[in-house]
Amino acid sequence: MSETIFGKIANGEVEADLVYEDAEVVAFRDLNPQAPVHILVIPRKPIPTLSDAEAGDAELLGRLLLTAAKVAEQEGIAEQGYRTVINCRAGGGQTVYHLHVHLLGGRPLQWPPG
């Protein structure tokens, strides 16, 4: 799985604009932002899609969301509000098959998104 661009970022093989990292999670700015703040939060563990996560990944999945909340605070968008999104497979808009949470904010976000 490390052959995806996100796997390479998680392993330190490709540079990214990192905003947070720890032993299990990495967060970095999206290269094609859809909002003033658009950060991707990924696990270091290579999980292709949310559907591929297993029961043993429950703590890691929670850590991804808690990290998104921490980064939203760090980026100054927590109080005004933000959106988290996980796309799953091609029909859900996923283009990189390494599980990731989109953190979007910095402007009013409408629903439905598209």
Q: Is residue 110 part of a domain?
A: no
pLDDT tens string, the chain, 114 residues long: the values are: 448 999 999 999 999 999 999 999 999 999 999 999 999 999 999 999 999 999 999 999 999 999 999 999 999 999 999 999 999 999 999 999 999 999 999 999 998 876
Q: Is residue 80 part of a domain?
A: yes
User: Of residues 38, 98, 100, 102, which has the active-site annotation?
Assistant: 100
Q: Is residue 113 part of a domain?
A: no
Q: Which residues in 77-100 are b (16+ Cβ under 10 Å) and which e?
A: beeeebbeebbeeeeeebeebbbb
The CATH number that applies at residue 78 is 3.30.428.10
Domain count, the chain: 1
If you ran DSSP here, which 8-state letter would residue 15 be given?
Answer: -
Q: Would the pTM count as exceeding 0.85? A: yes
98 is a catalytic site residue: no
Print the domain residue range for 31.
5-105
Q: Is residue 112 part of a domain?
A: no
Tell me the pLDDT tens digit for each residue of 26-36.
Answer: 999 999 999 99
Q: Is residue 86 part of a domain?
A: yes
